[in-house]
Chains A and B, each alone.
Chain A
Amino acid sequence: MTAWSPVGCATNRAMHAGFHTRVAPRALALAFGLSAAVGWCASVQVDVRDGAGQPVSGAVVFLESTEAQRAARPLQGVEMAQEKKQFVPGVLVVTTGTEVHFPNRDAVRHHVYSFSPAKKFELKLYKGTPANPVLFDRPGVVVLGCNIHDQMVGWILVVDTPYFAQSGMPGQPAGQAVLGDVPPGTYQLRTWHPGLPVGAAALAQPLVVGSAALSAEVTLTGLAP
């Protein structure tokens, strides 16, 4: 809590948070941060397209900077559930240090594992919710699999920033992601998509955020179909 971002943009944040129905604790935290907020915040709209210019949904865009890293706080109450032999959500973006619960809502057992360098773990055959959540303490892409069900794939993107969004979420135009309440500054706009080759780093491009809203465009190439 001490390293909280000096920039607070309540309205935007609230609006932003409204899209994350399961991040209520975080909204509370943001609301708590309002008191310390200084200055104006801008919202960043990012359109993600593929090499052919078609909008790409499901991409994760996030802004990185030293300030943003400092402003990042672990999320609370985050879970990556398994329902109908699928990871839900398919792509989960968390900040570094977040502890994620893996509740099993299927009747069958699952054996969730990750061999990703960002976080290697395994939750051996279990039912219900394991007692201990898994701590994701390093940024990076963590690919989740189930040793019992090969078709189950899930991704947890661990980022060192609180500013992230996913393109093409319900209610948004295809391929569009909106990052709200971004304090002005110089960032690296990074874009990642599960269709990128395994182990490939997120696309990075510099982005200067002022006090006004701005929009950026990202072209992702090399996506798997």
Chain B
Amino acid sequence: MTLRGLRHSLVARLVGMSLLLLLAVQLAGFAVVRASIERNARAQIARELDTDGRVWQRLLEQKAERLRQGSALLAADYGFRSAVSSGDTQTIESALENHGARIGAAVTALLDTRLAVRAISSPGGGMKQLSATLAQVVPALAAEPAGSQIAVVNGLPHQFVMVPLRAPLVIGWVLMGFPVGQPLAEEMRQLLAVDVAVRVADGQGGFSVPVSTLPEASLKTLRAAGSGVGEIETQRGTLLVRRSALSHLGAPSEALLLRSVDELVAPYRQLQWLLAVITAAGLLLFALGSSAMARRVTTPLRALLVATRLLSKGNYSVPMEHTGRNDEVGDLARSFDHMRLDIARQQSEIRDLAYRDRLTGVPNRERFRGAVMDALRTDPVLGHRLAVLVLDLDRFKHVNDVLGYAFGDRLLQAVAGRLQPMVGEPGDMLARHGGNEFALLLHVTDAQAVLQIAERIARAFETPLHFDDQTVDLSASMGIALWPDHAVDADMLINRAEIAMYGAKKRLAVALLYDPALDSSSAQTLSLLGDLRRAVEQGELRLYLQPKVALQRGAGAAAEALLRWQHPQRGLVPPMEFIPFAEQTGFVRQLTLWVFEQVAMLLAQTLARAADLHISVNLSTRDLLDPELSLRLGAILERYQVSAGSFCLEITESAIMDDPQRAEAMLNRLAQQGFKLSIDDFGTGYSSLAYLKRLPVNELKIDKSFVLGMQSGGGDAQIVRSTIDLAHNLGLTVVAEGVEDAALMERLRAMACDEAQGYHISRPLPAEQFLGWHAGPGAAFVAAP
């Protein structure tokens, strides 16, 4: 997870979830309030409309009463009565018109005592419709003289009242009609702030709205709405409608009382807006607050994340932040810091184990190499030099053999103790470089300074060591190489110091500065290594086999595998020119494997299987010390389906003696795999037969120097004979090398030597020729008695 991802996930989740919950609560509240307001508003409007309806009815009644009173007053007016009693129709009509106008009557009529119309005045006209309306209105009024009736005249509802005309007895009736018109609607509007519309059916299914306090737009909507409508939607919002019937006489008409839900809700809406603003502000504050809180949590988390990355990179020096906090984050940070220190300590222990020689307590070879590399990288001070001094104890193996390993260990510790004072400068280092080899990294100004140090070391070694009762004389060979004089990198620097050391050992000198002359192949080293690699890759190597013959009985065919290099420019390169180099660089391991694999391929051939071949392959020290060796060989056997018993692995005495314990372990493993083991060049080393007896060895190969020496007389023949006898006594077979003539071969046969190998029998042959030789010239040897 990235930092961004962490922040996003945690902060966003914390803040987002809280915000969502808050928002949900607010929205729910908002919705409930809104629905409640709407519901309450409608209920309130319904109640108000109830009241409006009652007030409207009351208003109509009051109006009627007022009209009737006005009419009664008019009817009692003496002048009016005088005019009416004149009997002249025109006079009466004009009196009706005149007096009707006084109180605002739209229709005024005089009826006789039998309710027949005597005269009528209607300034608005429509006399025909009026007569029809009066025919309905008058009987209804006569039945209830104190009441009023509403009927539609000329498309507009009129309120009719009828009062008696007394003189002083009732001599007739005065009927007056008043429009239920705009003024009444306006009055209602002013009184109760309710909108009023009057709707009149036109008798053809439609209706007209002659009176209305609504604005034109709303009125249009109302006209478009059906007759039974309970509410209408206008531009001003929702209007709830209450219908109140006006008349049933003539065309039906009704008053509509309308109240706007929105007007009532408007103040609440403002409140809601305010609430919404407050909610939004609250959400914002909450978001800011909670993200700040979340950041307060995640910032240390991020710091911890950074810190753990540093830890995983191996940087243990940066203390954790936020360890001072008192909360859980602080606990976590402290725990992390504790972990950091623990890991650092453990790491340092591990590093110590990895880079320190446990016996002497000084840095080991790896550490030394790293130190040299570091010094080269960080110390390119002009005029200064880096020197590597390699010191090899002389005769250490002998000391080990004679006085035991424990003594050898103590000796090494003492040597380390004597060398330690020699490295005083910062950055200088003493390391144990190998079994009995020490190396010093020295910062010096020139070669002379190093040589002086070497001299001091030599002097320090002059004093013998005393352990228990033993006194040991120390002597060592030192080789020195300088950077940048002799090398361009650390490996080369160390390598050349070693070469110089070998040079010193060879010349019996105490110390020797590297000289290219010591290392004739050095100029070619790099290119040789590259060439060798190329040789393997491009198939320039050749497998040669030198036949061995059995001297006592006709055993199966045997041979020693040898390596030749067919160089494209230099021709056939002799083994001596590249094998030591390969051993020195470790490349020999690849060469050994190549040879082993070639032999396995050969053995896998049908012809070879038939010939019951036994082939010897040489192993070097490097091979023997490779812990993977047995596995590698096993894998090749597996691949070519050949048995380990067909192989004889030849090891020189010195190869074993380099690291006898590991060598013995490896030999045991190889023997278990089924390989036959042979000691090569026997007699040139220090190994005793007693020691060899411990090893799982099947064969001894007597070095050819002894075999050749038999011809010149002297002790060599005795050595060969006794070696053969001893080997036989130990259950080992004996092979003699360097058999160059028939006489020698006969003598060896007489000495009961088991097998012979040499030019007399055959030179090394290319692998493909070997089987042919075996069937041809070799047959003579096989057939030998």
Contact = CB atoms under 8 A, between A and B. Distances in A.
Interface of A: 113-117, 120, 143-147, 150-153, 197-199
Contacts of A116: 167
Interface residues of B, number: 13
A115 B171 CA distance: 10
Contacts of B170: 198
27 contacts: A113-B78, A113-B167, A114-B167, A115-B82, A115-B85, A115-B167, A115-B171, A117-B87, A120-B85, A143-B168, A143-B169, A143-B171, A145-B166, A145-B167, A145-B169, A147-B78, A150-B76, A150-B166, A150-B168, A151-B168, A152-B168, A153-B168, A197-B113, A198-B169, A198-B171, A199-B113, A199-B171
Contacts, number: 36
B81 interface: yes
Nearest to A120: B85
Nearest to B166: A150
A145 B168 contact: yes
Contacts of B168: 143-146, 150-153
Contacts of A146: 168
Contact of B81 (A115, A153, A198): A115
Interface string B165-199: 01111110000000000000000000000000000
A151 B78 CA distance: 15
Contacts of A144: 168
Nearest to B172: A198
A221 B378 CA distance: 151
A143 B113 contact: no
Contacts of A147: 78
A164 to B, nearest CB: 21
Interface SS majority for chain A: strand
B85 A143 contact: no
Nearest to A200: B113
A153 B169 CA distance: 7
Contacts of B78: 113, 147
A153 B76 CA distance: 14
A143 B165 CA distance: 14
Interface string B143-177: 00000000000000000000000111111000000
Interface string B389-433: 000000000000000000000000000000000000000000000
A153 B167 CA distance: 9
A145 B168 CA distance: 5
A198 B113 contact: yes
Contacts of B85: 115, 120
B421 to A, nearest CB: 155
Most A C-beta atoms less than 10 A away, residue of B81, B113, B167: B167
Contacts of A151: 168
Minimum-distance CB pairs A-B, first 8: A145-B168, A115-B85, A115-B167, A198-B169, A153-B168, A198-B171, A147-B78, A143-B169
Contacts of B82: 115
Given A115-B171, A145-B168, A147-B78, 19 more contacts: A113-B167, A115-B82, A115-B85, A117-B87, A120-B85, A143-B167, A143-B168, A143-B169, A145-B166, A145-B167, A145-B169, A150-B76, A150-B166, A150-B168, A153-B169, A197-B113, A198-B170, A198-B171, A199-B113
Nearest to A144: B168
A198 B78 CA distance: 18
A151 B76 CA distance: 12
Nearest to A145: B168
Contacts of B166: 145, 150
B26 to A, nearest CB: 74
B72 to A, nearest CB: 10
Contacts of A145: 166-169
Interface string B81-100: 11001010000000000000
Contacts of B171: 115, 143, 198-199
Most B C-beta atoms less than 10 A away, residue of A146, A153, A198: A198
B529 to A, nearest CB: 151
A65 B168 CA distance: 31
A150 B170 CA distance: 11
Most A C-beta atoms less than 10 A away, residue of B81, B169, B171: B169
A144 B78 CA distance: 13
Most B C-beta atoms less than 10 A away, residue of A115, A146, A153: A115
Interface in B58-82: 76, 78, 81-82
A80 to B, nearest CB: 14
Contacts of A113: 78, 167
A167 to B, nearest CB: 20
Contacts of A198: 113, 169-171
Interface in B87-117: 87, 113
Nearest to A151: B168
Contacts of A199: 113, 171
B199 to A, nearest CB: 41
Nearest to A149: B168
Nearest to B87: A117
B691 to A, nearest CB: 167
Contacts of A120: 85
B85 to A, nearest CB: 4
A114 B167 CA distance: 7
B335 to A, nearest CB: 113
B66 to A, nearest CB: 20
Contacts of B76: 150
B252 to A, nearest CB: 36
Contacts of B113: 197-199
Contacts of A115: 81-82, 85, 167, 171
Contacts of B87: 117
Contacts of A114: 167
Most A C-beta atoms less than 10 A away, residue of B113, B168, B171: B168
B36 to A, nearest CB: 61
